[in-house]
Amino acid sequence: MNFYVMTLFPDMIISGLNTSITGRAIDKGIISLNAVNIRDFTIDRHNHVDDYPYGGGAGMVMQAQPVYDCYKYIENKIKKKPRVIFMTPAGKTFNQEMAVNLAQEENIVFLCGHYEGIDERVLEMIVTDNVSIGDYVLTGGELPAMVMIDAISRNVKGVLNNEESAVTESFYQNLLEYPQYTRPETFMDKKVPEVLLSGHHANIERWRRNQSLLKTYNVRPDLFERAKLDKKDIKFLREQGIKINDK
Ligand code: 6GU
């Protein structure tokens, strides 16, 4: 899988993703990361890539020409029309389902804006998807692109090892992770929950499931509403005084 990032700050993309699990996947050749500097495509004498907005107003707008030529350079290299994702707070909010789906693509191009935005005409010409990473405003699209590349990559076969893969499971069921503990058994008078030392696998599994249910109910009621509950889950939650409607 090949990621292309159109950006004014290629070093930021490379340094952010060349470490840890994404870095290992790049080294192994499972994914490739190409940060392409939009400024390299300007035809302006002073290397400018932005100008004042027509109609007035604050800030600067990225010009169409360098963005378009940068895109054409990438399209020409891969010889097909890729998904082009424009990182914008005005896009559809990114989620795990989108990460899983995008992991099926062979090439993805990310377009990172800066300043007050990008000339609408080039967006109309090249962008296939508008995506946001949440309801807050960032200074540019680089961090959002890095977030998406990380989340997509870990759904590409071979990027995670078996142990790392298991960790994703819970989000698919719309439940949050149960708490984890490691040695020592006692840390500053705080003990590890007894059941985890019992060696009784069914009890441990039940306890973990119950912890996930309670955590999700308390911190993410929106997720909890979509979680699939079985009879044992419903019994446990009712014992905790939580009202559950039978379907
Ligand atoms: Cl994709 N871009 C910017 N600039 N801010 C954001 C965002 C994207 N997603 C959330 N905030």
Q: Note the pLDDT tens digit of each residue in 215-233.
A: 999 999 999 999 999 999 9
User: 36 and 137, same structural domain?
Assistant: yes
On whether both 93 and 183 belong to a single domain, the answer is no
- Which tokens go with 157? 């076969």
Amino acid 72: pLDDT: 98
Distance 113 CA to ligand 1 centre (A): 9
Using the predicted structure, report yes or no on whether residue 166 has a pLDDT greater than 70.
Answer: no
Q: Which helix (H) or strand (E) is 93 found in, with range? A: strand 83-93
**Residue reference for tokens 């800066």:** 114
Confidence of residue 168 (pLDDT cuts 50, 70, 90): low
For ligand 1, whether the C-beta of 16 sits within 6 Å is no
Domain boundary, last residue among 119, 153, 187: 153
User: Ligand 1 in contact with 140 (CB < 6 A)?
Assistant: yes
- The region of weakest confidence among 21-25, 62-66, 113-117, 188-192 is 113-117
CA atoms within 13 A on the CB side of 140: 19
Q: In the predicted model, what is the mean pLDDT of residues 199-218?
A: 98
Top mutation candidate among 8, 88, 139, 146 for ligand 1, by most atoms within 8 Å of CB: 88
Q: Phi and psi at residue 167, in whole multiples of 5°?
A: -65, -25
Q: Are residues 68 and 138 in the same domain?
A: yes
Instruction: State the distance from the centre of ligand 1 to the C-alpha of 35, rounded, in angstroms.
Output: 18
What's the rounded mean pLDDT across residues 194-218?
Answer: 98
Verify that 144 and 39 share a domain, yes or no.
yes
Does the reported pTM lie above 0.85?
Answer: yes
Q: Which domain holds residue 142?
A: 2-153
Q: Check if 88 has its Cβ closer than 6 Å to any atom of ligand 1.
A: yes
Length of the chain measured in residues:
247
Question: Ligand 1 centroid vs 148 CA: distance in angstroms?
Answer: 11
Residues 86 and 123 in one domain: yes
Evaluate whether residue 12 is within a structural domain: yes
Question: Is residue 142 domain-shared with residue 173, that is, in the same domain?
Answer: no
Dihedral angle over CA of 229, 233, 237, 243, nearest 10: 30
Distance between Cα 204 and ligand 1 center (Å):
41
CATH code of 111's domain: 3.40.1280.10
107 and 213 in a single domain? The answer is no
Q: Which two tokens stand for residue 26?
A: 């790049």
Give me the half-sphere count of Cα atoms (radius 13 Å) on the Cβ side of residue 105.
23
Total domain count for the chain? 2
**Kind of pairing, strands 61-62 and 50-51?**
antiparallel
78 pLDDT higher than 90:
yes
**3-state DSSP call for residue 41?**
helix
CA-nearest residue for atom 7, ligand 1, is 89
How far is the C-alpha of 62 from the C-alpha of 51, rounded, in Å? 7
Same domain flag for 149 and 50 = yes
On whether both 27 and 56 belong to a single domain, the answer is: yes
Average pLDDT for the chain: 95
- 149 and 220 in a common domain: no
Q: Which residue from 112, 89, 120 is spatially nearest to 3, judged by alpha carbons?
A: 112
